Structures are given as C-alpha cells and as structure tokens.
Amino acid sequence: MMYTFPNKLRNLAIVFMVVGLIGLTYGFLSAPSTIEEAKAIVAANHGEGHGTSHETSGTSESQGEDSSHASTSSHAEDAHPTADHQEQVAASHNGTSHGESHDAEHDEHVFHQLSNKPWAALYVAAFFFFMISLGVLAFYAIQRAAQAGWSPVLFRVMEGITAYLLPGGVIVIVILLLSGMHFNHLFIWMDPEVVAHDKLIAGKVGFLNLPFFLIRAVIFLSGWTLYRYFSRKFSLAQDTASDISNHKKNFRISAAFLVFYIVTESIMSWDWIMSIDPHWFSTLFGWYVFASMFVSGITAIALITIYLKSKGYLEFVNDSHIHDLGKFMFGISVFWTYLWFSQFMLIWYSNIPEEVTYFITRIEDYNLPFFGMLVMNFIFPLLILMNSDYKRINYFIVMAGIVILLGHYMDVFNMIMPSAVGDQWFIGAAEIGGFLFFLGLFIFIVFKEMTKAPLLAKGDPYMGESERFHY
C-alpha cells in the first residue's frame, strides 16, 4: 500500500515552520546589539523576579574563580584567565579600580550570553531533531545486521525518518560554520584571543581547530548519509528482486556501518556538544549522547507507526510490534538513567572543582529543567512502561513517547544552554520558535519520504516471520 501525505498534516507542518521562523526571527531581533541593551534586558528581568541579576551572576563567577577554571556557565571567565587578572591589577596601579574593571568584564560577559541565546536555541532544536534521525539510523542498522525477524514491517517507517538525516545534518554543520565565522560565541575555542590566554584550550588546539573540526563534521555526515542511501537503495531493490542478494548486501554494509557509527558518534558528541565547554570532559559523554538519541529515535518510530495505523495504514503491524517498541523505550530509558547517574555520581563524589562545576551550574541555575528532565526521562517512563500490558496499549505508548521526546529535548537543552548562555536563560520566542520550525521541517520531510515507496518492504526474506510475529 502506498502512503498519501494528507493535506492537513502537510499544512500543519508548514504552519509549524512559519510560526517557528517568526519566533526565531523575533528572538534574533530582540537580542542585544550593545552592552547597554544587554544591561537594560538584565535590569528588566531582575525587576520581574527572574534569577538573572548581577548578584546571581556574580556568585556564579566567584564559584568559577574559586575552582580555578572557567565554569560552564561563564564564557567570559573562559576568556579572561589569570593573565587578564594581572593586567587588571596593573591597571589599578594606574588609577583604574579593580571593581570597575570587573563590572565592565561582567557586562561584556552578560552581553555575549544574551547574544548567544537565540543561536543556542536554534542549535538545540536543530541538533535534537537531527539526533532523532541519527538514532533511528543506528536502530535500523542494528536490525539489519542482527537479521531481526520481528522488525521488517517497520523498515519503511525507519527509512522515512532517516530521510531527515541529510538536510538536518547540513543545517547543523551550517550553524557550526557560522560559529567559526564568529557570528556567535557558542564555541569559545574558536576565538583566537581566548586560545591565546587559555593554556588549557591552547593545549587542545591540535584537535580543536576550525578546519579539522569542519572536516570531521563533513566526514561524519557523509558516512552516515552514504550508508542511508545505499541501504535504502538495496531495500527498494529487494522488493522486486528474484533472489536475496540485495538483502545480503544490506546485511554486510549495516555491520560495517555500525563500527563506523560507534566511533564517529562519540567524536561527534565531543565536537558538537562537549566542546562548547572545552574545560570540562567526561569519558562517558559519547555513550550518554548515544543513549539519548537512541531512545528518542525508537520513540519516534513508535509514535509515527501508531499514527499511520490510526489512519488505516500498516495493517500488518500488530500489538506485539508495538509491545517490542515499548520494551526498547523502557529499556533504553533505564540505560540512559544508568549513564546519567554514573557520570553524575563519579564527578560529584570526586569533588574535583574543575569537574564538579559542570553540575553545580546546572543544579543552581537550571534546577527545574535539570531535575525535571530526570522525571520525564526516567521516572515517568518507568511508571508507565513497567507494566507489560501497558506496552500493548497505544494510548500509553503515545503518552510516554511524547514525554520522553520532550524530556530528551530538555536533555539537549541542559547540555548546551548552560555553557552558552549561563544563567541568562528562559523559554522564550526563540526556544519555542526553534522547536516548532524543526518539528514542522521534520514532519514534512519524513512523511514526504514515505510517499515514495510502499509501506511494506515485501521483498525482505524475513517479512513473513515479521507479519506473523506474536509475543
């Protein structure tokens, strides 16, 4: 059966994109262009009771100074290490007070944070939806390499979702390129002045330099999209083939791709997220990001499958397939929690200042999204999906799935925002607009792709087993 992209869904996707674009435009236009405008915004926010006052920021700065490194909430501190402090002392001997110099630094710091805010909102949304597509691609490759018998009825849904990989990846790389061209200050290591005064970042310049950074990004995206292209090609060819040669080709390239994926995904997480705060690192971070994208991708498969079934498609998908997707959603949510706790506990227990500052910033300045994320990504799925019977009920899968996706959006938000904007955060037009724009783009590309081929990969040798699958 061929899928027809309904006009209502198409129009909804377009509305999301238009509204999202308006929100993003407003976010960029309302960003301060001068330090005086930034001071006025902070003063207005302080008057409204928002915790973004000079005093709060000053506390964060002092914590960063006490830890003898630049905290994740303070790019300005990254850019002004001890050498600058010595210059301030020298200047004070010439009649300039240290307090005035510190205030000027703080004002500039806040200006950069507020200027980063729409860019960070754009980047969070762009990366999140790209991450969903990449997670689905990994899950699809695992099913192919494992020659799973239950999942072939879902292959066309997975192939549709992975269609977003190339346009979504290109958008992310464009944002990275614009960062390298100094349109924003998301990646402080891209600023030569910061590198010149920061010994720690200077020691990483062999890896963290713009040409090598962009080359890696292009290699990663090229490898992922090439696998997606050839796997899709072999899958479609198998529908009309007289033998299973295309299936065997898919098996071989999927096994090879998984090796490439596990290496490149880890490096990608270091490059695209962890390097936003180049003073902090975690050896678990690659696995942590993988778990987030994996469960988000599986959740997207479940939600789109249930939607298509509600519209009369995918009649060959039964409750047992939905049950298995629910089990993966539950299991990977627990896996994500294990990685989160392992990373948090080891760093918190060791109490090394330059490491623990990462979590102090998030607990103090991002208390609600930080702990709210844990509820959404672990406690809620645990309570809903623990029961085996609930995993067969579409309502529970949809409810849990929406919460999981929003929770992992908050996860990406927590990974990026504190390092980019410090405590100058709030959910505004740019954040909502970014989410809506990429949601609309994601829906449009994915469902448009599913109109290009039958929703049943009938040539797969395991299709009969998949259609008869019962748990």
pLDDT in tens, the chain (471 residues): 789 999 999 999 999 999 999 999 999 998 777 777 777 777 776 654 444 433 334 433 433 344 333 343 444 444 444 444 444 444 444 444 555 666 666 777 777 788 889 999 999 999 999 999 999 999 999 999 999 999 999 999 999 999 999 999 999 999 999 999 999 889 999 999 889 988 999 999 999 999 999 999 999 999 999 999 999 999 999 999 989 999 999 999 999 999 999 999 999 999 999 999 999 989 899 999 999 999 999 999 999 999 999 999 999 999 999 999 999 999 999 999 999 999 999 899 888 888 899 999 999 999 999 999 999 999 999 999 998 888 989 999 999 999 999 999 999 999 999 988 888 788 889 999 999 999 999 999 999 999 999 999 988 999 999 999 887
Q: Do 55 and 61 contact (CB within 8 A), yes or no?
A: no
Q: Map tokens 């299936």 to a residue.
A: 247
Four-residue CA torsion sign, 239, 259, 297, 5? negative
Judged by DSSP in three states, 434 sits in: helix
- Residue 33 exposure: Cα atoms within 13 Å on the Cβ side: 3
Q: Coil, strand, or helix at residue 296? A: helix
pLDDT value at residue 301:
97
Residues 123, 28 contacting (CB under 8 angstroms): no
**CA distance linking residue 364 with residue 260, whole number of Å:** 38
Q: What b-and-e string marks burial along 265-304, b requiring 16 or more CB atoms within 10 Å of the CB?
A: bbebbbbbbbbbbbbbebebbbbbbbbbbbbbbbbbbbbb
Q: What is the DSSP-derived secondary structure letter of residue 364?
A: H
Name the burial class of residue 19, with classes exposed (0-12), middle (13-18) and buried (19+) by CB atoms within 10 angstroms of its CB.
Answer: middle
Give the integer Cα–Cα distance in Å for 360 and 410. 17
Determine if the pTM surpasses 0.75: yes
Other C-beta atoms lying within 10 Å of the C-beta of residue 89: 11
Q: Where are the domains of the chain?
A: 7-28+118-467
pLDDT of residue 46: 60
Beta carbons within 8 Å of 26's beta carbon, 6+ residues apart? 429, 430, 433
CA distance 105 to 103: 5
Residue for token pair 């790019």: 75
pLDDT of residue 104: 67
What was the pLDDT predicted at 426?
Answer: 82
Taken in order 130, 132, 133, 137, is the CA torsion positive or negative?
Answer: positive
How many Cα atoms are found within 13 Å in the side-chain-facing hemisphere of 410? Answer: 22
pLDDT of residue 47: 54
> How many other CB atoms sit within 10 Å of the CB of residue 214?
15
Q: DSSP class of residue 58?
A: H
Are 343 and 285 contacting, i.e. CB atoms less than 8 angstroms apart? yes
pLDDT of residue 353: 84
Which residue, among 331, 462, 322, has the nearest Cα to 386 in the 3D structure? 331
Q: Give the C-alpha separation, 332 to 328, whole Å.
A: 6
Angle CA(192)–CA(414)–CA(23) in degrees, nearest 5? 85
Which letter does DSSP use for residue 51 in this model? S
